[in-house]
Structure 1
Amino acid sequence: MRPGELSTSVPVPALDATRRWLLAQSALLALSALVLYWTFEATDLDRLLAQSLFDPELGIFPLRRSWLLEAVMHKAAKQLTYVLVAASLYVCWQGWKGRLSWLPPRNALLAALGMLAIPLATSTAKLLTARYCPWDLVEFGGYAPYLGLFDPAPAGIKAGQCFPAGHASTGFLWIVWAVALRPAGLRMARRALLVGLLAGATLGTARMLQGAHFLSHTLWTLWLAWGVSVSLAVAVRADLGSGDRQGY
């Protein structure tokens, strides 16, 4: 073996594993986008679920003014998210300064950017689509028609800004930690993923029960958070190796 041969060959497996992971994530994102598009554009699942939550006799979504869903799950949860994100940004700063062995500097940058970029990407997407909330639709006591994903707003009616689901994004933003914590081991990464999924699903479901969003709005928000997390990981060249040396 020539001098230096070992040192040049050691990084190759890790690099290959990272590339395989990124390719797998890209393939899953593409496949899930096709599944989501077909499921909600080729079927009437969204409106069927919304109809089950709508009271036609009263002409409202009965849970729209629920104290638990509005005061706690909507307003209080949003305020709590601001506090938790601020605290997490401090943790990211410590990681960026190299003070945390389990959070490399580039991964700290990934987490910080992701927590900010996911809600921002969701808000931007709202401006690029014209979809209305369930309670805006004529069939649910509103004024607007149901639109497909790429349908423009009808003439004379202001475009909707209900897609994707903004409130759900404040839960799904934690998914970026599932990528940022990969060097700390798969157990940590999977726990972060579970937290993000549960938080986003809980907040998204709460708004669905109120008639504020369709199921597709929440699931597309999850897809967007996932895509932003992976894209940022590539952009900042984050360490995507797993301390457990297992696939994920």
Structure 2
Amino acid sequence: MLMSARARFYGLNLGIPLVCAVVVFLLFDMTRIDIAFSNLFYDPLHQVFALEHVRLFEKITHKWARIIPNWTGEAAIIGALLSFVWPIFKPQKRPGLLRLLEKTRLAAPLRFAHKHRRDFLYVVFAFSLSSGVIHYLKGHTSVYCPVETTQYAGKIEHKEWFQNFDLLKVAGDGRCWPGGHASGGFTMLALYFVARRYRWRHSKALMHGALALGFVYGTTRVLQGWHYMSHTFWAGIFVWLSCWLMALLFYGRAALEQPECQAKKSPLGERAKTLVS
């Protein structure tokens, strides 16, 4: 039974992303589906994507949208730094300092930060690893965005990521694969793994929300001609694996594979059910 639980854990968290990678590679990278999809939003007469130069759309979907992952990452850094204040100053052993912190209402957040230091550090490292992996892949595949290619009135020939991939050195100036903007939304998956550690019963909703955010971020860039749809899928796969591997390092498999806590049943509801039956 232990082996079965272990196999299920790795099957869900590692097996499914790898299967998705194979499907995306065969369905998108080995066909022209990406181009066919982008063609739906391209005006060949004026040689422009319909939403490419709409400033309001750009501001809302690209600039303002960054607030969510940016603020989350900044909050995690601040929380990680504050987590060291309580054990360094040890206010519980200094009545005067403790009274001051209680009076200024700083004691509660400092205790909270200290209690959840591992979680704050995990989010910081998960965000960093995800960003690092995406940055590395961008530089070592040198894929150009659709609007930069001859397919859409650009100057660079379109190539798939595996045609340019170089493991040890920068492959060129292209920086379009995987989707960087989409990866920003997907990094919120780190919060899902924190929730899994605590067996929060809404953790799956958090996961679905992070996935939806990444796909929304990625799709808006597809509509503007700055990415192909497959770039979003690849970003999601790499960010998931990065967050999951970092969660394994910080929390361990035993903590992450525990089932979610179920909602507590009302004693009154249980009593009513018994009377009816």
Shift of 1:110: 2.5
Conserved? CA contact 1:133–1:212, under 8 Å: yes
CA distance in 1, matches of 2:11, 2:118: 20
CA distance in 2, matches of 1:137, 1:93: 44
1:1-31 deviations in whole A, cap 9, x for unaligned? xxxxxxxxxxx96x97456413432211221
Conserved? CA contact 2:77–2:121, under 8 Å: no
Residue 258 of structure 2 corresponds to residue 244 of structure 1: no
Residue 28 of structure 2 corresponds to residue 40 of structure 1: yes
Conserved? CA contact 2:76–2:120, under 8 Å: no
Aligned Cα RMSD in Å?
A: 2.9
Partner of 1:122: 134
Shift of 1:79: 4.1
Shift of 1:179: 1.5
1:128-170 deviations in whole A, cap 9, x for unaligned? 11211010110201011121221129xxx95411101111111
Shift of 1:37: 0.8
Shift of 1:219: 0.6
The number of aligned residues is 229
CA distance in 2, matches of 1:226, 1:158: 26
TM-aligned CA distance change 1:106 to 1:20, over 3 Å? farther
Higher alpha-carbon deviation: 124-133 or 74-83: 74-83
Shift of 1:80: 4.7
| 1:69-218 correspondence runs (5 A) | 69-91=57-79, 99=111, 106-152=118-164, 158-218=172-232
Shift of 1:104: 5.8
Counterpart of 1:129, as a letter, is: T
Partner of 2:38: 50
Counterpart of 1:54, as a letter, is: Y
Counterpart of 2:51, as a letter, is: L
Counterpart of 2:159, as a letter, is: L
Larger radius of gyration: 2
Shift of 1:214: 0.3
Name the SS of the counterpart of 2:162 in structure 1. Answer: coil
Conserved? CA contact 1:178–1:188, under 8 Å: no
Counterpart of 1:120, as a letter, is: G
CA distance in 1, matches of 2:79, 2:180: 25
Name the SS of the counterpart of 1:242 in structure 2. Answer: coil
Shift of 1:182: 0.7
Conserved? CA contact 1:47–1:214, under 8 Å: yes
Name the SS of the counterpart of 1:236 in structure 2. Answer: helix
- For structure 1, the 5+ residue unaligned runs are 1-11
CA distance in 1, matches of 2:48, 2:118: 48
Name the SS of the counterpart of 2:163 in structure 1. Answer: coil
- For structure 2, the 5+ residue unaligned runs are 87-109, 166-170, 263-277
Name the SS of the counterpart of 1:244 in structure 2. Answer: coil
